[in-house]
Amino acid sequence: CCGALAQPNSPDLGCTDWVEFWAAHRLGFQLSQCKSNARVQELGQRLLPKLGQLFRGLEDLKPSLLHGDLWSGNHAVTADGRPCMFDPAAYYGHSEADFGIARMFGGLSRDFYDAYFEERPLRPGAEADGFEQRQLLYELHHHLNHMNIFGGSYQNGALQLMNQLLRELE
């Protein structure tokens, strides 16, 4: 789970690719948990069919093991200098998805990103071109999740991200 909400991850969910999975079991699932919020629903229903635009040219995505809740409060360095992570909401998915919650809570250190992109650089073309927009999408998931768990204080952030994504995708 990610917080107090179950996170649909079963291999028998019937999805054939990442975009379908994300639309149904991340963004779609979070939207299903806040049905009484008409504005979020309206924007969500406009956004869902556009998700594929964020992944054009990335049809060959290979799943990566994700932490699922990677932000500055869920990693540390041991006394002997080794990095460690804790409190995961692990699943397999797009390697960029972990940046969503990190971005929501102020990001991670420059050293973290430098090391990450040295190990797994963005491929030129479609991957690099849509990176920033996909980060908005991945951050949106966590705003909706927090809105569903902790209440309306996360609503404005979710609405801003949805509006920004819709502007950029229209």
DSSP calls for 5-58: B-----GGG---SHHHHHIIIIIHHHHHTTTT-HHHHHHHHHHGGGGGGGGTT-
Nearest Cα to 99, choosing from 125, 82, 126, 122? 122
Kindly name the residue from 12, 17, 60, 69 that is annotated as catalytic.
Answer: 69
87 is catalytic: no
Q: Which residue numbers are catalytic?
A: 69
